[in-house]
């Protein structure tokens, strides 16, 4: 990862400063001056730069969220506490151990729990997964190493 939210915010600040500079320049020309109409493009450029600044800030926020909360993303769902104990029926899901229920088919969709473990299998393949998925991995993977990730 070599783009940081701070870099994007810096660029946003430059876009906004440029927009302000264009406005200062154009505002010096009164509306009745003959060149006023010719500056329409410059005034609209200031607006576009404002929008660019907003988009850059939005991207910085998205990147912030991506960096702090990474979803597990394994293609099936689990109970966050008990692992592979879900039953799904008629678009809903329930844990067979704790009886916790979900109103959507949690079992047959990508896992949205935050990653909490780094699992390295015998071949050296690294998978980041949530606390629920790691339970199943512990049962299945032999000679894998399990490292808890620092909580945010």
Q: Residues in the site for Zn ion, rule: CB under 5 A?
A: 72, 74, 79, 81-82, 95, 97-98, 111, 113, 130, 133
Please identify, using beta-carbon distances, which residue of 50 and 71 lies nearer to Zn ion: 71
CB of 122 to Zn ion, least distance (A): 21
Q: Which residue number, 52 or 136, has a Cβ lying nearer to Zn ion? A: 136
What are the Cα distances from residue 62, in Å, to 5, 66, 97, 116, 118? 9, 6, 36, 20, 23
Indicate the residue among 48 and 97 with the shorter CB distance to Zn ion.
Answer: 97
- What minimum distance in Å lies between the beta carbon of 97 and Zn ion? 5
Name which of 2, 1, 11 is nearest 57 in CA terms: 11
> Which CB, 56 or 111, lies closer to Zn ion?
111
Shortest Cβ distance from residue 10 to Zn ion (Å)?
35
Shortest Cβ 61–Zn ion spacing (Å) = 25
Question: Least distance in Å: CB of 85 to Zn ion?
Answer: 5
Q: Which residues contact 21 (CB under 8 A, 6 or more apart)?
A: none
Helix ranges restricted to H, the chain: 5-27, 40-68, 131-140
CA distance 142 to 120: 10
CB of 2 or CB of 68, closer to Zn ion: 68
Record the tokens describing residue 49, joined without a space.
């730069």
CA dihedral 78, 83, 85, 91 (to 10 degrees): -10
């Amino acid at each position: 990862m070599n783009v940081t939210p701070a870099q994007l915010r810096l660029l946003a600040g430059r876009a906004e400063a440029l927009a302000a500079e264009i406005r200062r320049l154009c505002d010096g020309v009164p509306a009745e001056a003959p060149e006023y109409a010719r500056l329409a493009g410059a005034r609209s450029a200031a607006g576009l730069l404002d929008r660019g600044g907003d988009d850059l800030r939005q991207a910085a926020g998205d990147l912030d969220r991506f960096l702090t909360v990474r979803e597990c993303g394994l293609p099936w769902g689990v109970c966050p506490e008990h692992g592979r104990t879900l039953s799904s029926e008629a678009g809903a899901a329930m844990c067979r151990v704790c009886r916790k229920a979900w109103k959507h088919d949690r079992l047959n969709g990508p896992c949205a729990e935050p990653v909490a473990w780094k699992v390295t299998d015998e071949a050296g393949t690294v998978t980041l997964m949530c606390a629920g998925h790691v339970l199943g991995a512990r049962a299945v993977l032999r000679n894998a190493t399990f490292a808890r990730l620092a909580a945010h």
